[in-house]
Amino acid sequence: MRKIGYLRVSTEEQRPDRQIEGLKAICDEMHIEILSAVSKTRPVYEGVKARLRSGDVLVVIDLDRAFRSAAEALSEINLLSKRGIGFRIANFGFDTSTPEGYFMLTVLSGMGEFERRILSRRTKEGLVAARLRGKTLGRPKKLTDAQIGEAITRLRSGDSNMSQLAKELKVSRSTLSRALRSR
């Protein structure tokens, strides 16, 4: 029986250290995936799942690291169970192969989905409130209005070309081009 750890972080900037520390003592091997939970495909997860054999146990630190919704969690765990593969959530001490463990899994996955939906709603409400307060959302502009105006003047006069201006302004040609089109 092998205990295979599946770890996921959403971005390159996020560190899987907490998950690694939590799983290293109980897993024979660990596989880390770096992509958002909403991604349509999860190649590392699919690869791990394909390699699991009867008697193996798939281990995650928290339920939300492996599944996007309660329905997906229950469906995937049922499919694993039919193949004779166990499932363990390291931060919870229960066995999902027992009726009690499966019940707890159902409750936890429902609570996790509820939490994600509440967080999503709060985020959307916060964005609306910020817009109403006049906040500009998104990535800050790389060029000021003055820089764009100067670039237009210099391009029209033939004093500079796009490549020279982009280099001077320390932006890519495409960034400069987009800024000019927005005027």
Catalytic-residue membership of 81: no
Q: Is residue 9 helix, strand or coil? A: strand
CA angle, 78 then 38 then 19, to 5°: 70
Backbone angles phi, psi at 58, to 5 degrees: -90, 125
Q: How far apart are CA 165 and CA 28, in angstroms?
A: 55
Q: How far apart are the first and last CA of the chain?
A: 64
User: What is the DSSP-derived secondary structure letter of residue 62?
Assistant: S
Burial class (CB in 10 A: 0-12, 13-18, 19+), 30: middle
Q: How far apart are CA 54 and CA 3, in angstroms?
A: 11
Residue reference for tokens 């500009």: 136
Are 136 and 171 contacting, i.e. CB atoms less than 8 angstroms apart? Answer: no
- Of the residues 10, 36, 39, 174, only one is catalytic, namely 10
Catalytic annotation, residues:
10
